[in-house]
Structure 1
Amino acid sequence: MKECRLLLLAISMVWGGCCFFLGTNPVMAAETLETVEQVEMEENTYAVSDTAYLNLDWLAGAGNEDAATILKLIGNRTIAVDSSLPDFKRISNMNQTLRRINYDALNLYCLAHGYTEIMELGCGYSPRGIYMCERGKNYTGCDFASVIRDMRKLTSYLTPQEKAFLHYKMAGVTSGTEMQQASQEIKAPVCMVAEGLWMFLGNEEKKKALSNIKMILDAKGGCFITTDFSFKEYGWNVAEALYPGHGEAIMDETMELYDVVSRDDTGSKIFKSPQEAEKFIKSCNLQVQRVPLIFGNYEMDPNNCLSDEQEHQLLNVLAEHYLWVITSDSKKPQM
């Protein structure tokens, strides 16, 4: 896909050079460049949508009924997943488990800390909106238009009372204007959430996103929570709990799979360590606190698929400080 982009760009450069040399109307060259940009934008849109679909499929595979409902809503889709990878079955099992724990951890944090306003960044096809509105919480999901158009169909599954709590906004996390507009109707304080977003952002995009998060937290109060900054160690730990001795291989192939689906080099965009991530976040005038994934009791094996040892090791993972609670200097979270 990257080779295709370079080829298209090379063609446009040659064409533009020919236009200049021959004295042809430069508008033609401009139109060619616009075509290239349109192709790249469409590729990015499909990549976002396909990655969101993959995460939804994993969550549904873990037994999440709301995720299964959304799968039916948006229909079957063919995405570039190489099921011939040596560890594909283990990759799938690990990521299903990881997505279920992660989804639950973020939801439980919001509820445990009394938040009634939830704003999800890069929401994808997450069923979190259903979960929250069924519990009387206001939910605002933000993403690109291709995803939001699909998710707005979700209201057909809800009661009139639940519909009042569910909102979807076309807003990219790096756009200050879009983020501000998406948050206008949100009451204070807000718990902002992101799941599987940060591996797709370069450092400059991360700075813009964190600046926009700070803007909203300064205005509303509350916090931003994610496990994305612990993804490598978190994923490895889950993989090791399920398949001892294979954690590194499973994580390497998970990242390879994400690269294929997202048409991106995600490994180059992930922070090398939690310390690097924390330093970066603090440089954006935000505060960081890392807390355990889940406090208290948690049903680790609702589908009776785990051995006793696997369940024991996964319960140990819950105690790890993989959940990042990020706040603004000027506003503290509601505790």
Structure 2
Amino acid sequence: MNNMINFEGIEIEQELLERTNPIFNTARMTLFQLAAAGHDDAKDVVQKLNLTREDTQDSKTVKADEDDLFINSVVMEVRYFTNGKIAKESGFTEVDLPCGFTPRAIEFAKSGKKFVGMDLPATINEVEPAIMSLLDEEQKKLVNFEGVDATNYQSLKSAFDKIEGEVCITTEGLLMYLTDSEMDVLCDNIKKILAEHGGYWITLDPEMPFLYLLIVKSFYGERTREIMWQSKYRIDDKSDVNAIENTITISVRGDVQENMKNAMNYIKSKGFKLERLPYADHVPEFKSLENANPKIVAQIREGFKRICIWKITVDESVNVDISDVGAESFNADASIDGDRLNLVLSGNLDTLSAPELLANYEKIKKDNTLNSVFIDCSKLEYVSSAGLRVLLIMQNDCEDGVIMKSCNETVIGDLSNTDIEIL
């Protein structure tokens, strides 16, 4: 290749981090919903971040109405407090993945418990100073934040290596945004972490659609379908991701029992043991329901008996390799050939590496006339949704688009719903 280009030394700005993974916008959304439910710590964080209802709840094309905000505030409070309650009861170090902008760190620190919040760098850059400013010096010693990509084992391992003893990993509002290939990687990563540290993984995400349906139907009856679709469209629009499309998130459409069976079999196939804990055994009193019709509240609480939280542990009969995975390190070589940018990518194009690729592409584009991008993928192992978003930015930005050569089956699957040409 001629005209080789050096990728080193470019500063990655917050705005670019947000563009490569706008899904973190939903973290602001849920924080505001928790504050709307009456949570004082959430209100304090909202004030620190200067968030408004319009900024957090309205998407590019859909304005959130009162019904939408109310329902989501109830759902947010239910899942937030239940997750936190089980994590506290574990006695382990709580690892919130992703931590979002929620004030759980404040809650844990005030009660003298250790808390580690992990999320995308774009989120951590904002939430860490806001949360820390609300803690005293002793409380700050109990809290730590780490910018990670949940699908990048090296980033997770580096963060978990700072933690001693068993961990309770909680994932709240994450799984429904992952593709099946991302879900595979996440499960493998969590399995390695738990095999090394001990503890368990708590998630409400697989049965979250049941919880949402229960609450919407209890309050709005015949309008259930309308409200659910409006909310889903708004969230998808806000995050630029089609949520609830993977195997582990149990759809309330079609054969629900078969969907449940497939999700449970999937988690077991990944080398885990699964215990389903009924919501009814773990939910506290909720501020958002204080003024609600008692009959509706009773109906919701009865429904909690049929919806479960998933407690996931490593199946000890499965051999787990917890060695480092050095191949995940991302690298890019670039050169210009006329009006074509040639790239050789290796490792994982994920949330951590995608901003680097986009920043360098836009710098090259500024200094050169580009009509196409040719990518050698023979050493590229994996593309996350953030990586895919950068590839599509380049695809839409160049007249002749992007051509990718020598992709493995995983990458081909990730690109299947795009018009990117694969050789």
Same fold (TM over 0.5): yes
Instruction: Provide Cα deviations, 1:156-178, integer angstroms capped at 9, x if missing partner.
Output: 21121111110000111101001
Matched-pair contact (CA < 8 Å) for 1:300–1:315: no
Q: 1:66 aligns with which of 26, 41, 66?
A: 41
Structure 2 residue aligned with 1:180: 157
> What's the secondary structure of 1:193's corresponding residue?
strand
1:295 to 277, 281, 287: 281
The answer to whether the 8 A contact 2:210-2:307 is kept is no
Deviates more, 1:80-89 or 1:47-56: 80-89
Partners in 1 of 2:286 and 2:222 — Cα distance?
A: 21
Q: 2:293 aligns with which of 307, 312, 328?
A: 307
- Structure 2: gaps (5+ residues): 252-258, 318-423
Q: Which residue of 1 aligns with 2:243?
A: 266
My pick for the range that moved more, 303-312 or 215-224, is: 303-312
The count of residues paired between Structure 1 and Structure 2 equals 300
Structure 1 residues 229-240: aligned runs within 5 Å: 229-240=206-217
**SS of the residue 2:116 aligns to:** strand
One-letter amino acid of the counterpart of residue 298, structure 2: H
One-letter identity of the residue aligned with 1:234:
L
Shift of 1:185: 2.2
Asked if 1 retains the 8 angstrom alpha-carbon contact of 2:57 and 2:63, the reply is: no
State the Cα deviation string for residues 70-106 of structure 1 (Å, max 9, x = none): 1112222525725996983222111100110111111
Q: Which residue in 1 is equivalent to 2:401?
A: none
Q: Is the 8 A contact 2:74 2:289 kept in 1?
A: no
Q: Is residue 2:220 matched to residue 1:243?
A: yes
Q: How many Å apart are 1:127 and its aligned residue? A: 1.0
CA-to-aligned-CA distance 1:146-201 (integer Å, 9 cap, x gap): 11111221212112111111000011110100111111122222110011001111
Distance 1:303 1:242, change over 3 A: closer
Name the structure 2 match of 1:191.
Answer: 168
Question: Which of residues 281, 305, 313 is equivalent to 1:319?
Answer: 305
1:12 is matched with none
User: Is 1:206 matched with 2:180?
Assistant: no
User: Any idea what the Cα deviations from partners look like across 1:261-283, whole Å, max 9, x if unmatched?
Assistant: 00111143444333222122111
Work out the CA distance in 2 between the residues paired with 1:287 and 1:237. Answer: 27
Q: Considering only CA atoms, is the larger Rg found in Structure 1 or Structure 2?
A: 2
201-210 or 104-113, which deviates more = 104-113
Pick from 99, 104, 110 the counterpart of residue 123 of structure 1.
Answer: 99
CA positional deviation for 1:49: 2.8
TM-score (norm 2): 0.65
The structural deviation recorded for 1:246 is 2.8
Query: Residue 232 of structure 1 contacts residue 251 of structure 1 at CA under 8 Å; is this kept in 2?
Result: no
CA change 1:155–1:87 in 2 (3 A) is closer
Q: Please list every run of 5 or more consecutive structure 1 residues that lacks an aligned counterpart in the other structure.
A: 1-19
- 2:29 is aligned, of 49, 54, 57, to 54
| Kept after mapping to 2: 8 A contact 1:292/1:320 | yes
Question: Residue 255 of structure 1 is aligned with which of 219, 222, 232?
Answer: 232
Higher helix share: 1
Distance in 2 (alpha carbons) for counterparts of 1:39 and 1:305: 40
Under a length normalisation based on structure 1, what TM-score does the superposition of the two structures give? 0.81
Q: Distance in 2 between matches of 1:238 and 1:178?
A: 37
Counterpart residue identity of residue 318, structure 1: F
Deviations 1:19-75 (A, max 9, x none): x9xxxx7669x99xx9xxx99864233x13311100111111101111111111222
Distance 2:144 2:98 in 1: 14
Residues 230/39 of structure 1: CA separation in 2 closer, same or farther (3 Å cut): same
Q: Following superposition of structure 1 onto structure 2, how do residues 83-98 of structure 1 map, counting pairs within 5 Å? A: 88-98=65-75
Q: Is the partner of 1:268 in helix, strand or coil?
A: coil
Assess if the C-alpha contact under 8 Å between 2:17 and 2:122 holds in 1: no
Answering whether residue 158 of structure 2 is matched by residue 163 of structure 1, we say no
Distance 1:192 1:103 in 2: 14
Asked whether the equivalents of residues 34 and 73 of structure 2 are also in contact (C-alpha less than 8 Å), the reply is yes
Amino acid at match of 2:111: R
For 1:222, give the aligned amino acid.
Answer: G
Distance 1:90 1:297, change over 3 A: closer
User: For the residues of structure 2 that align with 1:258 and 1:130, how far apart are their CA atoms?
Assistant: 26
Deviations along 1:95-119, one digit per CA (max 9) or x if unpaired, are 1001101111111112233x23100
- Taking only the aligned residue pairs, the percentage that are identical comes to 22
1:228 counterpart (180, 205, 213):
205
Q: CA RMSD in A?
A: 2.7
Q: Aligned match of 1:132 in 103, 108, 114?
A: 108
Closer/same/farther in 2, CA of residues 320 and 112 from structure 1, 3 Å limit: farther
